[in-house]
Amino acid sequence: MESRTLRVGFVPGVEPDRFLRRWRTGRREARLELSPVPLSRQRAALAAGEVDMCFVRLPVEAADLHVVALWEERPAIVVSTDSVLSLHEEVREADLADETEIPAQHPDDAAERVAVVATGVGFTRLPLSLARLHHRKDAVHLPVADAEPTRIALVWPRASDDPLRQEFVGVVRGRTARSSR
């Protein structure tokens, strides 16, 4: 009998290691393979069959997908360590009113924006997980107390639903081999 492999993609900022550990402790026959997927390709990677399931940052066009919303990501900004804002533990939208925002130019430019603000030019908005991922000595990240969070979900094609994918959903949701649905 040939062992199956479940290929699970994840966008930057998602750390799927805990799910891999849970999968392995269940002594499952199928192998779990994790693959980083750029944010700009989160939907395309599924459509092209590069991954079987993917941890995505919402929103995503989901007409033909199963979507299991998982957790919210706290919103943050990144500023230079020389910025007055860096002295705060967290900021509010009102604190940013007179500051220069470095907006996203494309979905995969978080590291580039952090590099720009590290030079002392303005601030950029990121989910806290991405701000931590792109941490630098010359920049700090601060939670934004009154901004809308982003959300992470696990998605996969409706046409490809099977017991193996459902078993992984159970692992992600914290079910153990002994728990029932």
Question: Is residue 79 domain-shared with residue 134, that is, in the same domain?
Answer: yes
- Asked if residue 178 is part of any domain, the answer here is no
Model confidence over 54-85: pLDDT tens digits? 999 999 988 899 999 999 999 999 999 999 99
Instruction: Write the single-letter amino acid at 88.
Output: H
Task: Give DSSP secondary structure letters for the chain.
Answer: -PPPEEEEEE-TT--THHHHHHHHHTT-SSEEEEEE--GGGHHHHHHTTS-SEEEEESP---TTEEEEEEEEE-EEEEEETTSGGGGSSSB-GGGGTTSPB---SSTT-HHHHHHHHHTTS-EEEEEHHHHHHT--TTEEEEEBTTSPPEEEEEEEEGGG--HHHHHHHHHHTT--TT---
Whether residues 137 and 160 share a domain: the answer is no
pLDDT value of residue 178:
56
Q: Contact 64/151 with Cβ under 8 angstroms?
A: no
Q: Are residues 62 and 80 in the same domain?
A: no
Residues 84, 112, single domain; the answer is yes
CATH code of the domain covering residue 125:
3.40.190.10
Q: Same domain for 80 and 137?
A: yes
Distance CA 13, CA 127 (A): 8
Report if residue 14 sits inside a domain: yes
Q: Could you tell me if residue 181 is inside a domain? A: no
Q: What is the pLDDT of residue 113?
A: 98
Q: What residues pair up with 141 in beta bridges, in sequence order?
A: 78
Q: Are 68 and 18 members of one domain? A: yes
Rounded to an integer, the average pLDDT of 85-106 is 96
Tell me what pLDDT residue 26 has. 83
Residue 94 has pLDDT above 50, yes or no: yes
- Identify whether residues 158 and 133 lie together within a single domain: no
Range of the domain at 158: 5-72+150-172
The answer to whether residue 177 is domain-embedded is no
Contacts 24+ apart (CB under 8 A), 97-104: 99/123, 101/125
Q: Which two tokens stand for residue 80?
A: 């230079």
pLDDT of residue 179: 54
The domain total for the chain is: 2
Q: Is 22 a domain residue?
A: yes
C-alpha–C-alpha distance, residues 13 and 130, integer Å: 5
Query: Is there a domain that residue 55 lies in?
Result: yes
Q: Are residues 124 and 101 in the same domain?
A: yes
**Nearest by Cα to 172 from 53, 50, 39, 47:** 53
85 and 138 in a single domain? The answer is yes
- The answer to whether residues 81 and 64 belong to one domain is no
**Residue 176 pLDDT exceeds 70:** no
Q: Which amino acid is at 17?
A: D
Q: What is the pLDDT of residue 181?
A: 47
Nearest to 15 by CA among 123, 111, 127: 127
Does residue 118 fall inside a structural domain?
A: yes
pLDDT digits 0-9 by tens, 123-174 = 999 999 999 999 999 999 999 999 999 999 999 999 999 999 999 999 999 8
* CA 175 distance to own-chain centroid: 21
pTM beyond 0.85, yes or no:
yes
Report strand pairing: 75-80 vs 139-143: antiparallel
Domain membership of residue 102 (yes or no) is yes
Instruction: Report pLDDT digits (tens) over 3-57.
Output: 699 999 999 999 999 999 999 888 888 999 999 999 999 999 999 999 999 999 9
- Are residues 135 and 159 located together in one domain of the fold? no
Pair (87, 139) in one structural domain:
yes
What pLDDT is stored for residue 174 in this prediction? 84
